[in-house]
Every structure is written in structure tokens, then in C-alpha cells.
Structure 1
Amino acid sequence: MKKLIYIFGYALLLMQGNLYAQELIALEGRAGISFRGLSVVDDQVVWVSGNKGTVGKSIDGGKSFEWMVVAGQETRDFRDIEAFDENTAIILAVDSPGIVLRTIDGGKHWEQVYRNDSKGIFLDAMHFHNGRQGAIVGDPLVGKMLLLATDNNGQSWKSLELIAPQVAEGEACFAASGSNIISRPNTAPMLITGGMRSRVFVGSRVIELPLVQGRNSTGANAIALRDGGRGKHWIVVGGDFSADSSRAGNIALTKNGGRSWRKVHTPPFGYRSSVAYISRKKLIAAGTSGVDISTDGGRGWKNISTTGYHVVHRAKKGKAVFLAGGNGRIAKFE
């Protein structure tokens, strides 16, 4: 009897191992393209964006993708994308110049809705808190973060220079597919920074992050707020992307809006550039050295893949979770 129990237990462990191995399902990708932009509208509609002017769209939950190269933008790097349905999406190209393009016909045509030719311009990320209102963050110009806002679904953008935060020398935002900015109604967006300093900017509050910092490759990359941002449970991930297997100072947790930070008993397994809530207690984080999940609100993590991804998002309307990364990789988390 003991032998049968042992065999059954061993078989169960093997089954669990196989289940973990199958949690990331590789999808059709685009070889040679680095994807940093990802927007999961619902369980069926997914958009991705990357370098070489590339945008992809799926309307069947990732089973197939329609690929397009934006006319006239064949050399541009689209670091972020925000989609609203299968027809409407916004993409941003980072620099020289920084531009924002918008489509309302599924990517057949793109209209330029913002352009900035300033020296040193670098657009990092954008975030919408509803279908009409959103914000864009860019690297600092003359010591202040570049902030833009829209209230008409991205048809036009205005500067928020008067409320943009002043930052330290060498402090900026990483281009992490909208995961370092949270647009909020009728107030300044929430931002996280990295580099020589790593902080959270929430209105007039400036909060120091307990993450590795002090070099251009260090600091915060992504923040996720539980309950759609209504509560005070935050999780911030980052680390050092020049040493992407290091687990030192790569996560910060708070349940009181940054007044104090919780201890983590098992941190993510390296530098992580993106994090998302799957449920109130379950999270997923991704970076160039792999993908991890947590089932206890972020205090302990289990590595489920050593394949690197730049970004992970859960559907805005639905439960689907998708990832995108270098060398055209796209995956779905089951």
C-alpha cells in the first residue's frame, strides 16, 4: 500500500511539473522582431508592436496574427501600443523624432497625432485609464519628465509640463510597454523611475523605492496596482538589466500606498521588466531571463520559464494573459 501511495505521489509530482512546463504556450511570432509593445483588449483581441515598424494583431485569442509594417515608418521602434478594439489602436515611436500614430481601421492606415523634434526626445510609455483619457511619459528634457495627456481617445495630445516632476541627473523611465505609468482621472499620472535613482511619483508625493539603483541599468521597470488601481496594494519590479539573472533589489511590495514596504521571502528569479495581477493573490512577472508566478500576493515567486519576455499583460476585459519579447516571441499563459 505504501508503495502504491509513493508511486501515486511521484506520478502526481510529475504531472504538476508537466503542467508548469505547459503554462506558457508559444504562439505565432515574427522572427527578427523585438516586441516591447503589448495590448490585450479582451480574450480574443491582442495587439503587439516592435522594431522595424512592425505591428501585429490577433482577433482569435492568439491563434493567428495579422502582420503589418507601418508605411513610412519601416525603421522605427514602436515601444508601446494601446488598443481599444480590433480597429482602434495607438502606437508610439521613441525618438528622432518622437511620434504617436493612431489607426481606426485595424492598421490599414495610421495618422500622426503627435510629433516632437526636440533634441534628446525619447517617448517611453503610455497608459489609458478609460477609453478616452490617457497619458504618455518620456525621458526628461531639461531636468523634467515629459508628460502628455489626451481626453479624446488619443486624437490629440497636450503637454503637462507644469505638473511634470523634476528628476535627478541620470533618473528616467524605461520603455516597458506602459507599465511604468498609470493614468488617473483628473490628476497627474503615477510614475516610477529608474537609473541613478528609483522612485514613485504620486501627485505631490515622491516615494523612494527599496530597489537596486545607482547605475543607468538599475531601478524600477514596472508597477501594478491591485483592484484596477483603486486600492493601496502596489507591486514594483525591476533590478539590473545588465545582470539580468541577479535577484538583488528587484521587487518592492506595499499594502499602504508606499508608506512602508513588505518583506519578500522569495524574490523573482532575476531582472523583471513587467508584472501583472492575474487575480488578487496571483501575479506574473517577466524579464529577459525568464518568467515567474506568485500565488501569495508577490511575497514568494516560482520560476516557470527561463525564456525571456519583455512584457506581460492581462486582458482589460477578460482573463487572458499574453507575453511578448525578443526575437518575435509571443506566448499565452494558461
Structure 2
Amino acid sequence: MAGSAGTILRTIDGGRSWSSVGPADAAQLQFRDIEAFDARHAVALTIGSGTDSRIYTTSDGGRTWSRTFQNEDAAAFYDCLTFLDHRHGLALSDPVDGRFRILATRDGGRTWSVLPSAGMPPALDGEFAFAASGTCLVSAGGRAFFATGGGATARVFSSGDLGRTWRVATTPIPSGPSAGIYGLDFRDPHHGLAVGGDYTIPASAPSGAAVTRDGRSWTVATSPPGEYRSGVAWFGRLAFAVGPTGSDLSSDGGLTWRRFDTGSFDAVACVRHTCWASGEQGRVARLTHPH
């Protein structure tokens, strides 16, 4: 788990106890995304303008960290990252000179380079990505996807060549200065979920969820959560969405959702038979699927 004030938490007993393992030099920064490969290896991203956007790696379970990237461009603001496999990873920045910026690694996060922008479609006026849950950039089956808001429409970009070129699709999720897609997840390159809304109006998001079954076109959920949701995750054939006003479950690929909890969470991730949700003031929950 990762969060504000340089926090990274690690558990090795299924969540019964946690230890703080964040990098010492990141105590004033906000972690928004962490990708763990196993019990020892992980890559974590801090967000912010200029040098506040950083990437750290560990190979010993968080006992020591290496800062492998620090943004030096005042115009860039990195929001989230993903790994397509253990070697190839991408990080997403809000637009610089009118186009979203992609940072790439080919060695598991040890070194990073900014990719050329020629293959990136132009950003809309006011368009950006939300770093709320670390799921504005995700990957599945060798493809990468990122979601946006802020502009006239909320969009999803996709790439099948490790971030060199991108295509973009509009979605029916409303967009605006504080509205758009906050959470994205794909079960495979074709089946995807998007959730969002406006975080300033958390109790109302009538069209705040959408689905795709071809990885390209998006349709609004027939029965969405109805409120702002910042995180979404597949759990086998099920899916979960979380936000400050509650959590929702879908058993039909994201078309219909039903509330099952009223607690506040910001992010959710599912691995094997377990889902983890995290929220403000260090709130963490675990949901286990019987097997």
C-alpha cells in the first residue's frame, strides 16, 4: 500500500500486521502508484509538479530503495504507472506541449526514458489524467491503456507497441475541470471497465461507469454505481468499484452495479483470490474469495 507523507506499507501475514518501508527521502511526497512483482521487488511512483514526480525501486522488500527517476521538467506531472511484464513499464504525465508524455523502462524500472511524442494524439484543451487511485494507466495482454478527464470528453488511449504509438476513443463518462475517468481496469485487451465522476460532487455520478468489450468502443453502464468512484478492479468474472461514499459489485462485466458497503476507500486492487482496498487515514480492507 502507498499514500501521502511518503508512506509505503508492507504486510507478509495477509494484512494482520503492517510495517512502514517508505524511502527516507520521500517523507514529504505523495505516493500514488506501486507495482509489486513479488515479495521483494517493487516500483513506486510519487506525484507532483517538477521534481516531486519520482520513481523508486526496491529489490529487498522495502529495506532499501533506489531513486531511478526524478522529473526535471517543470511542465510535467506524472500520475500513474504500469508494467506490461517484469521488464517493460510505462509512466504517464499530464500533457506537455499539447500531448500526454510517456516515460518507459525496459529493465524493470532501473532506468527510464521519455518516449517521442509523435505517436501520441493531441490532448484536448484542459485534458489531463487523475492520479487519485494509481489506475489511470493500466495494462493487460501486452496492451497499455490510460484514461483522462478535464476536457470536453473523457477519453481512453491505448497502445500495443510499448507506448510508442496510441489510438484514442471517447467515452460516455462526463468530463469537466474536476470530472472524468478516475479508475480503469482491463481483464484482457478487450474487456475493460472505467469509473469516475466528479470528486467535488461525490454523491452524484449518474453516468459514472462505462464498459468496453472490444478495447475500442465504450458504452455507459445500464445501472452504474450512481456516485463518484475512484477505483475499479476485476476479480475473476466479478468486478469491484470503490469511492468515498461506498463500494459496489458487478457480476455482469460492469453493466450493472449494486452497493455492498458504505465505507470510504480510494483504491482497490485484486490479486489471485484476494482484493485489497485502501483509503484515507490509513484505512485498509481485505476481501477474500472462497476457493
Q: TM-score, normalised by structure 1?
A: 0.78
Q: Which residue of 2 aligns with 1:330?
A: 284
Q: Which residue of 2 aligns with 1:297?
A: 253
Give the % identical residues.
Answer: 33
**Secondary structure at 1:138 match in 2:** strand
CA contact (8 A) 1:286 1:312 kept: yes
Number of equivalenced pairs = 278
CA contact (8 A) 2:207 2:226 kept: no
Report Cα offsets for 1:44-94 as digits up to 9, x if no partner. Answer: xxxx11111111001111111111342122111111111112221111111
Report Cα offsets for 1:267-296 as digits up to 9, x if no partner. Answer: 11411111111122x110011221111122
Q: Which residue of 1 aligns with 2:212?
A: 254
CA contact (8 A) 1:275 1:285 kept: yes
Is 1:50 matched up with 2:3? yes
Aligned CA RMSD, in angstroms, stands at: 1.8
CA contact (8 A) 1:322 1:330 kept: yes
2-structure distance, mates of 1:156, 1:184: 22
Question: Residue 70 of structure 1 aligns to which amino acid in structure 2?
Answer: P
- Pairing partner for 2:173 from 171, 190, 211: 211
The gaps in structure 2 that reach 5 residues or longer are: 160-165
Is 1:200 matched up with 2:156? yes
Q: Judging changes above 3 Å, is the alpha-carbon distance between structure 1 residues 279 and 265 closer, same or farther for their aligned structure 2 residues?
A: same
Question: Residue 136 of structure 1 aligns to which amino acid in structure 2?
Answer: A
Question: Residue 274 of structure 1 aligns to which amino acid in structure 2?
Answer: G
1-structure distance, mates of 2:139, 2:236: 21
CA contact (8 A) 1:139 1:146 kept: yes
Q: Which residue of 2 aligns with 1:140?
A: 95
CA contact (8 A) 2:133 2:230 kept: no
2-structure distance, mates of 1:307, 1:139: 30
Is 1:309 matched up with 2:265? yes
CA contact (8 A) 2:132 2:182 kept: yes
CA contact (8 A) 2:149 2:155 kept: yes
Q: Which residue of 1 aligns with 2:163?
A: none
Q: Which residue of 2 aligns with 1:321?
A: 275
Question: Residue 283 of structure 1 aligns to which amino acid in structure 2?
Answer: A
Is 1:224 matched up with 2:181? no
- Pairing partner for 2:241 from 267, 279, 285: 285
- Aligned residue runs from structure 1 range 126-137, under 5 A: 126-137=81-92
Q: Which residue of 1 aligns with 2:14?
A: 61
Q: Judging changes above 3 Å, is the alpha-carbon distance between structure 1 residues 93 and 148 closer, same or farther for their aligned structure 2 residues?
A: same
The gaps in structure 1 that reach 5 residues or longer are: 1-47
Structure 1 residue 124, shift from structure 2 partner: 0.4
CA contact (8 A) 1:81 1:177 kept: no
Q: Which residue of 2 aligns with 1:79?
A: 32
**Secondary structure at 2:73 match in 1:** coil
Q: Judging changes above 3 Å, is the alpha-carbon distance between structure 1 residues 152 and 177 closer, same or farther for their aligned structure 2 residues?
A: farther
CA contact (8 A) 1:269 1:303 kept: no
CA contact (8 A) 1:174 1:193 kept: yes
2-structure distance, mates of 1:254, 1:186: 17
Q: TM-score, normalised by structure 2?
A: 0.89
Structure showing greater Rg: 1
Q: Which residue of 1 aligns with 2:108?
A: 153
CA contact (8 A) 2:84 2:142 kept: no
Structure 1 residue 260, shift from structure 2 partner: 5.3
CA contact (8 A) 2:239 2:250 kept: yes
Is 1:119 matched up with 2:80? no
Q: Which residue of 1 aligns with 2:197?
A: 239
CA contact (8 A) 1:290 1:305 kept: yes
2-structure distance, mates of 1:109, 1:169: 41
1-structure distance, mates of 2:263, 2:75: 33
Which has the bigger relative contact order, CA under 8 A and spacing at least 6? 1
With 52-61 and 251-260 compared, the bigger mean Cα shift is at 251-260
